[in-house]
A and B are shown apart, each in its own frame.
Chain A
Amino acid sequence: MAEMTTKKNRFQNGKWKNYISYIVIIIFLAILIIINLTKGLGFSDKSTLPRIAFSCILAVSLNLVVGFLGELSLGHAGFMCVGAYLGCYTANVLRTSGNIPELVTIILSMLVAGVVAAVFGFIIGLPALRLKGDYLAIATLAFGEIVRCIFKNLPFFGGAMGMSTKLYDGNTLFIIAFITLLFVVFCCQNLINSKHGRAVVAIRDNEIAAKAMGINVTYYKLLIFMVAAFFAGMAGVLYGATIGTIRQETFSYNYSIEILVMVVLGGMGSINGSLIAAAVITWLNITLQSQLSGALAPVKSIVYALILIIIVVFSNAPAMKGFRESINPRNWRKKTEDAGKIKNDAAAWDRIPTKIRMDDPLSVDTRTTYADSPVPPDVVVKNRDELYVKEETGKEEE
């Protein structure tokens, strides 16, 4: 009996959210493979797909830092840069040394890329222990630029000309890329949904209290920076295999910002959101780029910029709150129990959700909620405490 309730609750409480990304990625990959085998994917699709995959990896890993740890990092492309150079260099060395199977080569090179990037993640994690907010943002940005500047001047990495590596065949690359993505999503989800993830979110929510609870803030900050850097390094190898020539200009702070945009638009602290946003933005970018060329090329950045501004203003402006709520599908269902629950990522936006929540059932939601509410309004107002209990129990998990 007890066992059954737990199972049922687990399903109701949105644990499926953790698995849906795997399912979607696997189905997507399966469909692609089938299409490729029967009809054959177009050349542009074959180059777009790996890009989507490594953008997703970058966004998910950056989300660990920005969304879950709550530190603003603008140097993610720097880790990718380190990974791309070191990983592809390793791959080149392995390939010249002879009989190593290609699969082992790519796995080994990703591993090397990840480890070296993680070392850099440790280095940049150190300032993160002392710096806060915007100061950390500029420090990470500076780090990215330093890395880029150094790689530009190292002759055995090709210098300003870039380093060439094996350009992968489009038929296998997208499969490798998506399997890597699956691995990264698996690791990130598991890490976040564990006691360690809880500690990290506790640090984000209230660092002082986390310290007072004996959470080792130093350890977790460094850990998250290193894990994020590790995955970014792996993405760097995929990037090298997609492009064929690694050029340091790619990894400028603009690229870091682009990844940050994916994370923010997808929703801070939402891995699924990051995946969707990264896929859509990358696709949009590539499509705009291929459709608008020559004199129309700037239109691409204008369209991109306008979409960005409109989405952010719409989804964050305090003045838009009423409108947002009116189109929120959750309010269509008009269930009282939904009034108090805010998606985790939405809550991450403003760290003081109390303001919103306390007023929700009384003011903003009055029209939508009370109309079909089983609880008459006067009762709600009188026994506010009771209302909350009813709303919340059995909601989050277990």
Chain B
Amino acid sequence: MAEYLLETQDLGISFGGLKAVQHANIKIKKGQIYGMVGPNGAGKTTIFNMLTGVYLPTTGTFFLDGEELKGKTQEQINHKGIARTFQNIRLFSNMSVIRNVMVGLHNQPQYKCSFLTSTFRLPKHFRVEREMREHAREILRVFGLEEERNALACNLPYGQQRKLEIARALATNPKLILLDEPAAGMNPQETADLVRIVKKIRDEFDLTVLLIEHDMKFVSTICEELTVLNFGTVLIQGDTETCLNDPEVIKAYIGG
């Protein structure tokens, strides 16, 4: 068991000549809610994309639970235990809410079922489908979305779509969940609700959370530690209070 659940070592990427992220060293302990903040274009989402295998880092590497995941495909990384949500919501919009979550459950070992089993409707198919549906309902219940389970995902209000994305990511049974601006577009009430939910899933599902957020009130309520990025480099790391009061950070944000 490694000391840190996620550890990045000198992670960096450049697009052409542009060094989007350099020398990112982030260490997240198991069970933490960890925040990543910084002005637009600081490279936060790029780090997420590297951690989930969308981009291949040009320098450095990263470890989940002591296992190096650099160079693995997105699917493999998900199987190893990193799930994510997207800044611009990417739901399967023509599917119902519950089916979205069931897609998340797809690779769980207990729901293994070959396509021939499904095609010829062997008894196992029905059992698996029933159990998946039950499981998905349970997850939706945590997010208060059980009632909406048969609505089409694209018909949900924005805040609920964000929650559904988290629920879907949670269904893949990750160790680490990456939330990309989970509170964007939510009203204060919904944000407060989200704080409760994130804490709840962290406790109930034994999760570690890494999130990107611009809402500083949200960040200061929920995050235990922070990494502040600016222009692709780490400005400061440490516990939330210190980071947010750091003069450098304030300067980076309000351009003092």
Chains A and B share a contact (CB less than 8 Å): yes
Chain A residues proximal to chain B, CB less than 8 Å: 13, 187, 190-191, 194-199, 201-202, 205-206, 208-217, 223, 340-342, 344, 347-348, 351-354, 357, 384-385, 388-389, 391-398
Shortest CB-to-CB span from A14 to chain B, Å, is 12
Q: In chain B between 84 and 135, which residues have their CB closer than 8 angstroms to a CB of chain A?
A: 84, 86, 90-96, 98-99, 102-104, 106-107, 111, 113, 115, 118-121, 125, 128-129, 132-133
Instruction: Judge whether A195 and B93 touch: CB under 8 Å.
Output: no
Contacts of A198 in B (CB 8 A): 95, 99, 102-103, 106
- Bound-complex Cα distance A389 to B241 (A): 40
Tell me, rounded to whole Å, the shortest Cβ–Cβ distance linking A15 to chain B.
Answer: 13
Whether B148 contacts A392 by the Cβ 8 Å rule is: yes
Q: Which residue of B lies closest to A209 (CB)?
A: B90
Shortest beta-carbon distance, B111 to chain A, in Å?
A: 7
Q: Which of B149-157, B211-219, B246-254 has 4 or more CB atoms under 8 Å from chain A?
A: B149-157
Kindly report which residue of chain A lies nearest to residue B85, judged by CB atoms.
A212
B107 touches which of A215, A348, A357 (Cβ 8 Å) = A215
CB contacts (< 8 Å) of B91 on chain A: these are 205-206, 209
- Top 8 closest A-B pairs, CB basis? A392-B151, A214-B78, A194-B118, A209-B90, A205-B92, A211-B74, A396-B96, A396-B150
**In contact, A214 and B172 (Cβ under 8 angstroms):** yes
The contact sample of 13 A-B pairs, CB cut-off 8 A, is A187-B119, A187-B120, A191-B118, A196-B118, A199-B103, A199-B106, A211-B78, A212-B86, A212-B169, A213-B83, A214-B78, A389-B147, A391-B155
A13 to B98 Cα, complex, angstroms? 15
CA distance A52 to B84 in the complex (A): 47
Task: Tell me if A353 and B94 are in contact (CB < 8 A).
Answer: yes
Given A205-B93, A213-B78, A389-B147, CB of A398 within 8 Å of CB of B106: no
State whether B103 touches A212 (Cβ < 8 A): no
Is B202 in contact with chain A by the CB < 8 A criterion? no
Interface contact A206-B92, CB-CB below 8 Å? yes
Contacts of A354 in B (CB 8 A): 93, 154
Question: Contact: A213 with B103, CB < 8 Å?
Answer: yes
Contact: B106 with A215, CB < 8 Å?
yes
Cβ contact within 8 Å between B90 and A194: no
Given contacts A212-B84, A213-B168, A205 and B52 within 8 Å (CB-CB):
no
Measured between alpha carbons, how far is A394 from B74 in the docked complex, in Å?
A: 34
Contacts of A347 in B (CB 8 A): 94
Nearest A residue to B92, CB-CB = A205
Q: Is residue B75 contacting chain A, with contact meaning CB distance below 8 A?
A: yes
Instruction: Indicate which residue in A211, A357, A388, A391 contacts B75 across the interface (CB closer than 8 Å).
Output: A211
In the bound complex, CA of A117 to CA of B227 (Å): 54
Contact, CB under 8 Å: B90 / A206: yes
Q: A353–B154 contact, CB under 8 A?
A: yes
Complex Cα gap A380–B214 (Å): 33
Residues in B lying within 8 Å of A, measured CB to CB: 52, 54, 73-75, 78-79, 83-84, 86, 90-96, 98-99, 102-104, 106-107, 111, 113, 115, 118-121, 125, 128-129, 132-133, 147-152, 154-157, 168-169, 171-172
In the bound complex, how far is the Cα of B152 from the Cα of A388, in angstroms? 10
A187, B116: Cα distance in complex, Å: 9
Q: Which residue of chain A has the shortest Cβ distance to B118 in the bound complex? A: A194
Q: Could you tell me if A212 and B111 are in contact, using CB atoms closer than 8 angstroms?
A: no
Q: Which residues of B contact A392 (CB under 8 A)?
A: 148, 150-152, 155
A195 touches B129 (CB 8 A): yes
Query: In whole angstroms, what is the CA distance A309 to B16 when docked?
Result: 46
| Cβ-defined partner of B150 (8 Å) among A190, A342, A353, A395 | A395
Question: If the complex has contacts A190-B121, A206-B90, A398-B150, are A215 and B103 also in contact, measured as CB distance less than 8 A?
Answer: yes
Q: Once the chains bind, are B118 and A190 in contact (CB under 8 Å)?
A: yes
B104 touches A213 (CB 8 A): yes
User: Are A398 and B98 in contact, CB atoms less than 8 angstroms apart?
Assistant: yes
CA distance A281 to B211 in the complex (A): 54
In the bound complex, residues from chain A placing their C-beta under 8 Å from that of B133 are 398
For residue A67, give the distance in angstroms from its CB to the closest CB of chain B. Answer: 12
Q: Could you tell me the distance between the alpha carbons of A348 and B154 in the complex, rounded to whole angstroms?
A: 13
Known: A347-B94, A388-B151. 5 other contacts (CB 8 A): A194-B118, A205-B94, A212-B74, A213-B106, A217-B75
The residues of A that contact B52 with a CB separation of less than 8 Å are 212
Partner of A213 from B73, B157, B172 at Cβ < 8 Å: B172
In angstroms, Cα B151 to Cα A177, docked, is 39
Instruction: Report the separation of the CA atoms of residues A13 and B155 in the bound assembly, to the nearest whole angstrom.
Output: 18
- Expressed in whole angstroms, the Cα–Cα distance for A374 and B172 within the complex equals 41
User: Complex formed: what's the CA distance from A196 to B99 in Å?
Assistant: 12
Chain A minimum-CB-distance residue to B160: A385
Bound form: Cα–Cα A113–B102 in Å: 35
For A208, the chain B residues whose CB sits under 8 A away are 54, 86, 90
A398: chain B residues at CB < 8 Å are: 98, 133, 149-150
Q: A201-B94, A353-B93 are in contact. Are A195 and B118 (CB under 8 A)?
A: yes
Contact partners of A195 in chain B: CB under 8 A? 102, 106, 111, 113, 118, 128-129, 132
Nearest CB in chain B to that of A269: its residue: B94
How far is A89 from B162 in the complex, measured between Cα atoms in Å?
Answer: 56
Q: Collect the chain A residues with CB atoms within 8 Å of residue B157's CB.
A: 384-385, 388
Residues from chain B with Cβ under 8 Å of A395 in the complex: 150-151
Residues of B within 8 Å of A344, CB to CB, are 94
